[in-house]
Structure 1
Amino acid sequence: MRPLARLALPLALVAGLSACSLRPLYVDGGAGSVASALSSVEVSAIGGQSGWLVRNALNDRMHRQGESAARYKLEVELDDDITGFGTRLDNTISRERRTLRARYRLIDAATGSVLLDQTAAADAGIDVTQSDYATLAAEQTALERMADRLADQIVARVATYAGRSTNR
């Protein structure tokens, strides 16, 4: 009887899950409505090296294929900032904080109406060494990682919007 009692609670919990309204975002995988919506987003050009990195990361994650007509347009504005905040005894900077912020708007290509207007941010701490090359390499690596994190945040929010709008 004891083994049956141990199974009763998990079975009751599993039965309760079927009543919740949660639904996977990518229900039908690459053929689903969310994946289809993501692949029909055209990412506008973003200025600078950080913009190039973010735009490429967004296009990679949305699986944009070819030059087909886009249903949506994604406009992104970036703010890239490096601030020194740690100092050594000789008053040189020992630590930097690099912050990359994005304001993005998802626009309906047919009507021009703004469907989503949000922000995303990523930051990284960088040790400033005596070697200028090592510091520049650390700043570049931080930028590449932050661009990936921003793209992940933006795609997740656009996918969530697409999932909600297709379920209405």
Structure 2
Amino acid sequence: MYAGGGNGTVAQGLAAVEVAPIEGRAGWLVRNALRDRLEESGAASSSKRYLLQIKLDDRLEGLGLLSDDTIGRERRTLRARYQLVDNATGDVVLDATAGSDAGIDVVSSEYATIAAEQTALENLARDVADRIVTRLTLQLHQGS
């Protein structure tokens, strides 16, 4: 799949992907993680052949109720629906989803809980970005 290293078809294909802006903090995190991974894949391409469009769904929900009716556990879920569009033809080359979730303990310190929620979002953004890049890699490998 990675034959040719940075000069290979897949690496050059990944380097030719432009990531469209994504709404919200989660979008900013996912976009930056994607851009980092795509730029690592090969030489930066000045002409972007593909546009990656992503819509995110970020949810935080309470799960476990304690005996005093407070929430003791939360789950943060980050889902991405993405499309890889060929800029030359406007054709959708790939239409897929990726997602991940994390459990968070709700503790007595509100600061610690908020910090855990933010850390979970950062980790989820990196995980979703990795899943998207893996799927893009497979698609570009099959197309070569």
What range is the shorter-chain TM-score in?
Answer: over 0.9
Identity rate, percent: 55
Deviation per residue, 1:91-120 (Å, 9 max, x gap):
000000000000000000011110100000
Structure 1: state its 5+ residue gaps. Answer: 1-24
SS in 2 for 1:63: helix
Question: Hey, what does 1:71 align to over in structure 2?
Answer: 49
SS at match of 1:130: coil
What is the CA distance between 1:69 and its match in structure 2?
Answer: 2.0
Greater C-alpha radius of gyration: 1
For the aligned residue pairs, the C-alpha RMSD in angstroms reads 1.2
Q: Find 1:131's aligned residue among 100, 105, 109.
A: 109
Query: SS at the partner of 1:90?
Result: coil
Shift of 1:57: 0.4
Once the two structures are TM-superposed, the CA of residue 89 in structure 1 deviates from its matched residue by 1.1
List structure 1 runs of 4+ shifted beyond 4 angstroms.
Answer: 64-67
Number of equivalences: 142
Over residues 42-79 of structure 1, what are the superposed CA-to-partner deviations in whole Å (9 max), with x where a residue is unaligned?
00000100000000000000007767221000000000
1:144 corresponds to which residue?
122
Structure 2 unpaired stretches of 5+: none
- Report the Cα distance in structure 2 between the residues aligned to 1:144 and 1:29, rounded to whole angstroms: 29
Normalized per residue, the structure richer in strand is 2
- Give the distance between the partners of 2:45 and 2:5, measured in 1 at CA: 22
The normalised TM-score by structure 2 is 0.95
TM-score (norm 1): 0.82
- Aligned residue number for residue 51 of structure 1: 27
